[in-house]
């Protein structure tokens, strides 16, 4: 990010903002398997079609998801597969944080008398 102008940093922030909502992450994870329409995604996520549609609109605007109309349905697929590398990197980091925290709690459990 070194040397990026403010306009570019705003786009980077918008990209990360798109990833900051658990429902959108769930949608991206479901699209990792295959392309799907709004109804399928809504059913799998347990949300309304309107809610899922709103999230898909934002993901499309940010360039993470692509939309293709087929007849009366719109199908969504991943437009930027690199998002999974980013998510895997973050998930690995969080898993290591949990491991360290669990180890720290275990040390306190041993050190503190009942």
What does the pLDDT look like over 29-65, one tens digit per residue? 999 999 999 999 999 999 999 999 999 999 999 999 9
In the prediction, which pLDDT does 9 show? Answer: 94
* Gap between the Cα atoms of 58 and 13, Å rounded: 14
Domain 1-80: give its CATH code. Answer: 1.10.10.10
**Nearest CA among 22, 30, 99, 17 for reference residue 61:** 17
* Gap between the Cα atoms of 32 and 84, Å rounded: 8
Average pLDDT over the chain, rounded to whole? 90
In the prediction, which pLDDT does 110 show? Answer: 60
50-108 pLDDT, tens per residue?
999 999 999 999 999 999 999 999 999 999 999 999 989 998 888 888 888 887 666 55
Q: Give residue limits of the domains in the chain.
A: 1-80, 81-114
């Amino acid at each position: 990010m070194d040397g990026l102008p403010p306009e570019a940093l705003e786009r980077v922030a918008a990209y990360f903002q798109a990833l900051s909502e658990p429902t959108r992450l769930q949608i991206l994870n479901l699209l990792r398997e295959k392309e799907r329409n709004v109804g399928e995604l809504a059913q799998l996520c347990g949300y309304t079609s309107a809610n899922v549609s709103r999230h898909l609109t934002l993901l499309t605007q940010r360039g993470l998801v692509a939309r293709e109309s087929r007849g009366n349905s719109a199908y969504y697929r991943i437009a930027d597969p690199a998002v999974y590398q980013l998510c895997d990197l973050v998930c690995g980091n969080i898993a290591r944080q949990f491991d360290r925290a669990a180890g720290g709690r275990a040390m306190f459990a041993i050190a503190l008398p009942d």
